[in-house]
Chains A and B, each alone.
Chain A
Amino acid sequence: MIINGVSIDETFAEAFPMKATRAIITAQNEKWAMISAQAMTGFATSVIACGCEAGIERVLDPSETPDGRPGVSVLIFAMGGKGLAKQLETRAGQCVLTSPTSALFAGIDEGLQIPLGKNLRYFGDGFQIAKKIEGKRYWRVPVMDGEFLTEATTGRVDAVGGGNFLVLAESQPQALAACEAAIVEMKKLPNVIMPFPGGVVRSGSKVGSKYPALGASTNDAFCPTLKGITKTDLSPEIESVMEIVIDGLTKEDIDKAMRVGIQAVCDLGAENGIKRISAGNYGGKLGPFHFDLQEIMA
């Protein structure tokens, strides 16, 4: 398959099951809601070492938030329920509770309920106040700038992590420009995050390593500087490869994000140095969800 001179590999991206939740952060204005959300989703690029993958889903209009203030919704993904609960609570406690004027609400009502502010309330040292409104429990924790309002729990749902595609280009600037264009379009979609810095990862990994202690290592088949000395997957004109990784609440959400992202890359086309689109395929070792590139773009 070739779109605008860009070859779409006959391969599939391989993804795995995760647990996910959504939290809504509001603040006095969008600036402070965003600061809090950025802190909460910081150091959350990969479950390999961060404990979770998290990102900002979108900015919310005051009419969309529970307390009528500007807000930001964040999605957090982890490999298991326990890990997700721990990461959520730690990040909420250190990054949202601490952030001026913030309030924290559940972004998913269904699914198993996991603690959001349920345990953060103890920071109130006995001065905290519970309020049950329309079946939802809120905690009001006295803090130095006033009150930290948080919903007690949020819903945990099954999700999919690790959807991806690779952009193969003739130069590093061209690969980056294409990825930036893809991220702009993908960020318009709900229920997905691209957890790596700016949504783009330059150090895609393969499963396993020559060092037994490491579970993952550089994807040498796609490293352009190793073209001559490893079993490469790159043709001579490819000088740079970048990857976009997608976590989504459902497989369909990732399908859609990949389609939109790949289309944006292909719109730049061969004339802008984009030669191929491939995907992280680990021969079935990584996970049960397969995203066939040609099927998605058909």
Chain B
Amino acid sequence: MSALTFTARQETAQRVDMSPLVCQLLKDLTVTEIAAIELQNGKRKMRADELFEIKGSDTQNIVIKNSFAKLDFIAKELQEGSVTVEGEAGAYLGMGMKSGAITVHGNVGLYAACEMKNGLLTINGNAGDFLGAALPGNKQGMKGGTVLVKGNVGQRAGDHMRRGIMLIEGNAGDYCGSRMIAGTIAVMGQTGRFLGYAMQRGNLLLWQQPILSATFNDCGSHTLAFLPILFKSFAKFDSRFADATQAFNRVQRYGGDMAEKGRAEILVKL
């Protein structure tokens, strides 16, 4: 059975809500029924086959080709199977994802992995602001699973993050880990200003020395036993994080945010 493939015929002027085209909702549908699904496109609705050429039938393995940055809510609340995006993805990619795998071969927009619960989200390009964050007004962002970004991420990555692991091979924008409740964000590249702003608990694991706020205090250099276990868990990823030469267990530890609970830590490779 070949992958259920949606190939975009052209880019739309307005944004498209892709949330109906997710594995668990398509499970028992025929290709004809899938083609008739109506997608919200700006103010109007359009049939799926109006926007996409549809091929294949494996609803547990969805591929979106010629994807562009106005396709929002791709793989929303994914519960099973895999979704592969060839091209860019819009906002809210993998929002509330519960299981399975999403892979994007391009850049993604705002709020990717927001309030994600489990599974693996891989972004081979860059990610926009609020990666793994909580929706505006909500108190908890990403609650589990792994997000792997091979490019850079925007501002507020991990805002209100509760649990899970975010791996960023590139740079992170300002306010990385802001208001984080718990969880781990690892950044190999540079980090921006206001790192860990109002962070309560959790780890920021950094390869480069950051610009630190006055509310993070130096706790000295340490060899931490949990780091080899953490790095060992990265070995399964197709990523620089899986490279054993990138692993370390000797760190400079900064505790903070002392303006908040002060139980979070920023660990910087020594």
| Interface residue ranges, A against B (CB under 8 Å) | 26, 66-69, 103, 126-127, 129-134, 138, 140, 146-147, 149
Contact = CB atoms under 8 A, between A and B. Distances in A.
A245 B163 CA distance: 47
B12 interface: no
A127 B263 contact: yes
Contact of B229 (A66, A127, A130, A146): A66
B99 to A, nearest CB: 13
Given A103-B225, A147-B224, A149-B225, A131 B163 contact: no
Contact of A132 (B163, B201, B228, B265): B163
Given A127-B263, A129-B265, A149 B233 contact: no
A103 B223 CA distance: 13
Q: What is the predominant secondary structure among interface residues of chain A facing chain B?
A: strand
Contacts, number: 43
A146 B222 contact: yes
A130 B222 CA distance: 18
Nearest to B201: A129
Contact of A67 (B163, B201, B228, B233): B228
B233 A138 contact: no
Nearest to B262: A127
Contacts of A132: 163
A165 B163 CA distance: 53
A131 B226 CA distance: 8
Nearest to B223: A146
A133 B229 contact: yes
B116 interface: no
Given A129-B201, A129-B263, A130-B182, A67 B223 contact: no
Contact of B225 (A67, A129, A133, A134): A67
A134 B182 CA distance: 16
Contacts of B201: 129
A147 to B, nearest CB: 6
Interface in B160-194: 163, 182, 184
B230 interface: yes
Given A129-B201, A130-B182, A146-B222, A138 B263 contact: no
Contacts of A127: 263
Interface string B208-246: 000000000000001111101110110000000000000
Nearest to B224: A147
A81 B265 CA distance: 37
Given A129-B263, A130-B182, A149 B226 contact: yes
Contacts of B226: 67, 131, 133, 138, 140, 147, 149
Interface in B97-139: none
Contacts of A66: 229, 232
A103 to B, nearest CB: 5
Given A130-B182, A131-B230, A133-B230, A147 B265 contact: no
Given A126-B263, A133-B226, A138-B229, 19 more contacts: A66-B232, A67-B228, A69-B225, A129-B201, A130-B182, A131-B184, A131-B203, A131-B226, A132-B163, A133-B233, A138-B226, A140-B225, A140-B226, A146-B223, A146-B224, A146-B225, A147-B224, A147-B225, A147-B226
A147 B226 CA distance: 9
